[in-house]
């Protein structure tokens, strides 16, 4: 195809994918806003504070899936949990699950790969968050947490808030987050459109296709610097999958990027000593590679 035809193809893809993602994102963020209105942060803290390892890890991972979408929100909540004495392993299950299982990633994955692969992804990452959090607590990695002072703890929200107030709050949350995320979403759609229109399929298949044994670990590592937000990474992944990139490499890319993004690791460096920070990054990359291998194996059946 000539340049004009490629540009037209890329433009059409951009309009379609951006429109779909905008509608999906607004709807999901509104539902998440409702969840947060009825299950506020102070309630999460109260429930987790009384839990021990095991059941606490399961609950911590479950609550991690209900938290806001970026590390800028998750890390302060993590500090608050540690400050009130929530067991370290439970906090780690929360931290691991929060970026990988938030409803936006799950909803976008449904649109990308379908319900069954997304359910498998959710089961794998949830199990990993529970098990790894338990192991880190069991082996005493809490000794590598820095003594960080938590200031400006938010006041609990009023339990007397009406349903109407909560719905309006959820709508405001969705609109506010949408305004914040829109540039990243459009950036991801734009990059994806460029790849869709101008990058040959043969090149992607050769570099990251299912027959390349190094595609999955390389994708997991590349995902870390590549990640900006899920709203940017998912549309790019959709195009790479359509162009012939293996499903295992795509999943490794998403997990590696969302789980150990540079912004999150930078923030955690202020809380964790180097040994714990290194363990966290290695664990995320390990989960990304194992999940990628599992997805690639399932795709062969």
> Region 132-139: what's the mean pLDDT?
93
* pLDDT at residue number 107: 80
Nearest to 99 by CA among 50, 52, 66: 66
- Asked whether the predicted pLDDT for residue 126 surpasses 90, the reply is yes
Q: Is 40 exposed, middle or buried (0-12, 13-18, 19+ CB in 10 A)?
A: middle
pTM as predicted:
0.71
Question: Can you tell me the distance from the alpha carbon of 126 to that of 63, in angstroms, rounded to the nearest whole number?
Answer: 11
- Asked whether the predicted pLDDT for residue 150 surpasses 70, the reply is no
* pLDDT at residue number 225: 64
* pLDDT at residue number 206: 73
- Residue 151's pLDDT band, with cuts at 50, 70 and 90, is very low
Better-scored residue on pLDDT, 114 or 41: 114
Output the average pLDDT for the chain. 78
Model pLDDT for residues 23-53, shown as the tens digit of each residue: 766 776 677 677 667 766 666 666 666 666 7
Q: Is the dihedral of CA 203, 206, 210, 214 positive or negative?
A: negative
Question: Can you tell me the distance from the alpha carbon of 247 to that of 201, in angstroms, rounded to the nearest whole number?
Answer: 15
Question: Can you tell me the distance from the alpha carbon of 174 to that of 255, in angstroms, rounded to the nearest whole number?
Answer: 24
Model pLDDT for residues 186-221, shown as the tens digit of each residue: 776 777 677 667 776 676 667 767 778 888 998 888
* pLDDT at residue number 285: 92
* pLDDT at residue number 19: 78
> Region 46-73: what's the mean pLDDT?
74
Angle between helix 274-299 and 247-259 (nearest 10):
160
């Amino acid at each position: 195809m000539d340049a004009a035809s490629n540009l037209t193809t890329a433009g059409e893809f951009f309009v379609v994918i951006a429109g779909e993602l905008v509608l999906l994102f607004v709807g999901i963020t509104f539902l998440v806003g409702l969840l947060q209105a009825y299950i506020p942060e102070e309630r999460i803290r109260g429930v987790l504070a009384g839990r021990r390892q095991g059941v606490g890890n399961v609950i911590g991972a479950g609550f991690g899936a209900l938290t806001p979408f970026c590390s800028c929100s998750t890390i302060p909540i993590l500090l608050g949990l540690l400050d009130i004495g929530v067991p370290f392993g439970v906090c780690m299950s929360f931290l691991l699950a929060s970026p990988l299982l938030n409803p936006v990633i799950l909803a976008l994955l449904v649109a990308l790969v379908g319900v069954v692969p997304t359910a498998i992804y959710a089961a794998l990452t949830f199990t990993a968050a529970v098990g790894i959090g338990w192991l880190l607590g069991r082996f005493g990695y809490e000794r590598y947490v820095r003594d960080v002072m938590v200031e400006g703890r938010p006041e609990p929200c009023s339990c007397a808030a009406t349903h109407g107030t909560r719905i309006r709050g959820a709508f405001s949350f969705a609109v506010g987050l949408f305004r914040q995320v829109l540039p990243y979403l459009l950036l991801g759609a734009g990059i994806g459109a460029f790849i869709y229109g101008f990058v040959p399929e043969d090149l992607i298949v050769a570099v990251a296709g299912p027959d390349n044994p190094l595609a999955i670990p390389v994708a997991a590592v590349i995902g870390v610097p590549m990640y900006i937000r899920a709203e940017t990474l998912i549309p790019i992944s959709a195009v790479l999958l359509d162009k012939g990139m293996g499903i295992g490499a795509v999943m490794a890319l998403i997990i590696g990027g969302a789980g150990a993004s540079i912004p999150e690791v930078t923030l955690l460096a202020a809380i964790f000593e180097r040994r714990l920070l290194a363990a966290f990054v290695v664990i995320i990359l390990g989960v990304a590679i194992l999940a990628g291998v599992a997805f690639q194996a399932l795709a062969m059946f």
